[in-house]
Structure 1
Amino acid sequence: MSSRELIALGTSSQVPTRERSHNAYLVRWEGSGILFDPGEGAQRQMTLAGVPAGVVDAICISHFHGDHCLGLPGIVQRLSLESCRHPVHLFYPESGQAYVDALCRAAIYKSSVELVPHPIALRPGETAEVWRTGGWALLAGELDHSVPTLGFRIEEPEGRRFLPERLAAAGVSGPMVGEIARRGRVRTPRGTVRIEEVSAPRPGNVFAFVMDTRPCRVALELARGADLLLMEATFLSADGELAARYGHATAADAARTARDAGAGQLALGHFSQRYPDTRAHLEEARNVFPNVTALADLERVPIPRPVRAGGGAKSI
């Protein structure tokens, strides 16, 4: 299993179908599990995917239409049933606080999980960091839907990578490599060597989640340079008028966002039940952006690492 991957638990939009469950996407990021938009049936889909609920330590809800949040009660109750021992952080639009309260109290159960609320209030068009933990940060931005809606971005900090030829030229080898990685400099028989002299910047890994929005500037900002962009493709361009009316994107809109943002790979989801399959979505998107997949339920997509020059370079 990839240490960083997207698991499409459900890929339908408002109405689930025989082949597609309601929206729900889980990102495994090293030791973290970030669940996005748990629609109805998300708990069962996790079981089918072979993923225990206890891997979830963050839940991100873009907005409070049912296909993006009706699975929250089941997930929270399952976490309690499994005696989840770690806090679970919940991110959502501040304007939906009443819905969070109702969903978390939707049935009688003994609550034992520590659910940490993070209501997010942003100005229209604003993007901001809302959480930082371990080796990644979570950013959110206000999208252009029919109700207050957030997009999200998981971002790894930039690092550095050693350049073997520069290490050799500077006389840095053996334990000195570990020392310069820890301290940023090391003393050699030739003098002090700084880490900047023997390394190059290493871009951080980025995943972007853009769900339920018309094409907009914030969608582009969240997707900028993403190694994997997951974006809705509710409609085809032939139904573009409906997409604009209801605050959604077409497959071509998602592809243009990926292209203009310089994303590495695009995954399409949130398909309307009006379409019997997603072959047309894939074709429409590939005419604009070639590196694209139309997700199926339970599909796993590795989150590609940033392309780095110098295959022999060692990351710090």
Structure 2
Amino acid sequence: MTKAGRAALWAAAIIGAAALAAWLFQRPIGMWLFERAAERNIGRDTFADLPDGLHAGLCGTGSPLPSHERAASCTVVIAGKAMFVVDAGEGAARNIALMGLPNGRIKAMFLTHFHSDHIDGMGPMMLLRWTASGNTAPLPVYGPTGVENVIAGFNAAYALDNGYRTAHHGEAITPPAAAGAVAMPFATPGAPTIVYDADGLRVTAFAVDHRPVQPSVGYRFDYKGRSLVVSGDTAASKSLESASKGADLLIHEALNPAMVRTLVANLDKAGRKQTAQIMRDILDYHASPAQAADSARVAGVRMLVLSHVVPSMPSPYLNAAFLGEADDRFDGPIIVGEDGQYFSLPAGSDAIERGSWF
């Protein structure tokens, strides 16, 4: 055998031995990695690192359009150590958990309107809030008139499952009295109306223009001198600009019309006429990034965050194209929101700190 042949045999033997060692140790190495990950993730406490103040986390920045990167509409608001949720789109409960914010700590939910992509994640959120959380009452869900029907439907859909879980885990872990949710309806406000006021947090609801979807509202949160606004779905709305006056942070929905028209043209070309028409229809009841920037300027807010991003941006490299003229309309920072991002407004400060909880 030649020298080269012997070298090749030695190389093959070494590779084979390495592969055998990897196979033999794969199970204990895998278990060690799993144990370390479990220790790190289960022991994580996002609340421990938060200063007293008002904080917002983006648990869903998407829309009904499917996206790997974005869950449907959801915003977490933390006032002090109390956690609230605005809307509960598909995937929101998963993201809340991944952000290190236990669903069991949700004190109340606020719904802006009853489009499916703002409510279809409520089932998992209600379940995770209930199981092994120590809560003794159902999740309060605030919303305009009609929220009673939504909550009744979810409670009915989950009634059998709730019974199974109590039978399996016992009433100490899954008490029947704490399952599901309870509706907290309010009339669609003609003027900004306080719908929640406790422990230093004031939540004000205001009507927005999402016609033909009515009722539809946004919410302003005020806590210890800091404030943030969640628009819900809306076209450009004077009522939102008025309710947002002087807020630190405006989280506003945004749709890029040029990009949506590009989708329409390609859907037409592909023969998908029905979906193309749906995309045309959404153009007139959402705000563009430029319109959101105009509202931020008129309201005098300090930072604008765009959520309910349509179409979904799969990469930050597309953000400039999505914003279009928005940067020319508002002098403050404009952020194209991404799932997992957070914004902290510490009490006694004018700072806005941001990062990611993923």
TM-score range, shorter chain: 0.7 to 0.9
Aligned equivalent of 2:115, options 65, 84, 108: 65
For residues 112 and 46 of structure 1, the distance between their equivalents in structure 2, rounded to whole angstroms, comes to 24
For residues 58 and 135 of structure 1, the distance between their equivalents in structure 2, rounded to whole angstroms, comes to 15
The alignment status of 1:267 with 2:315, answered yes or no, reads: no
Helix, strand or coil: the match of 1:287? helix
Residue 23 of structure 1 aligns with an amino acid whose one-letter code is S
Given that residues 83 and 113 in structure 1 are in contact (C-alpha distance below 8 angstroms), is that contact kept between their aligned partners in structure 2?
no
The alignment status of 1:120 with 2:186, answered yes or no, reads: yes
Aligned equivalent of 2:133, options 83, 86, 109: 83
For residues 280 and 348 of structure 2, the distance between their equivalents in structure 1, rounded to whole angstroms, comes to 36
Identity %: 27
TM-superposed deviation, 1:85: 2.2
Cα distance per residue 1:94-118 (max 9 Å; x no partner):
1242122112332221444274431
Matches within 5 A, 1:151-170: 151-156=218-223
Change in Cα spacing, 1:244 to 1:14, as seen in structure 2 (3 Å) is closer
For residues 243 and 216 of structure 1, the distance between their equivalents in structure 2, rounded to whole angstroms, comes to 19
Cα distance per residue 1:12-67 (max 9 Å; x no partner):
11123011111111111111111011101111111211111122101011111111
Change in Cα spacing, 1:242 to 1:77, as seen in structure 2 (3 Å) is same
TM-score normalised to structure 1 length: 0.75
For residues 308 and 231 of structure 2, the distance between their equivalents in structure 1, rounded to whole angstroms, comes to 11
Aligned equivalent of 1:49, options 85, 99, 117: 99
TM-superposed deviation, 1:245: 4.8
For residues 34 and 258 of structure 1, the distance between their equivalents in structure 2, rounded to whole angstroms, comes to 24
- Compute the RMSD of aligned alpha carbons: 2.5
| Structure 1 unmatched ranges of 5 or more | 158-203, 309-316
Aligned equivalent of 1:150, options 217, 220, 229: 217
* Corresponding position of 2:195: 130
* Corresponding position of 1:162: none
Given that residues 84 and 112 in structure 1 are in contact (C-alpha distance below 8 angstroms), is that contact kept between their aligned partners in structure 2?
no
Structure number with bigger Rg: 2
Helix, strand or coil: the match of 2:306? strand
Aligned equivalent of 1:32, options 82, 94, 109: 82
Aligned equivalent of 2:229, options 208, 223, 239: 208
Aligned equivalent of 1:99, options 119, 138, 150: 150
Aligned equivalent of 1:295, options 325, 337, 347: 337
TM-superposed deviation, 1:2: 3.4
Greater per-residue helix proportion = 2
* Corresponding position of 1:258: 296
Helix, strand or coil: the match of 1:303? strand
* Corresponding position of 2:5: none
| Structure 2 unmatched ranges of 5 or more | 1-48, 164-175, 262-278, 351-358
Count of residues in correspondence between the two structures: 261
Change in Cα spacing, 1:143 to 1:283, as seen in structure 2 (3 Å) is same
TM-score normalised to structure 2 length: 0.67
Aligned equivalent of 1:141, options 193, 206, 215: 206
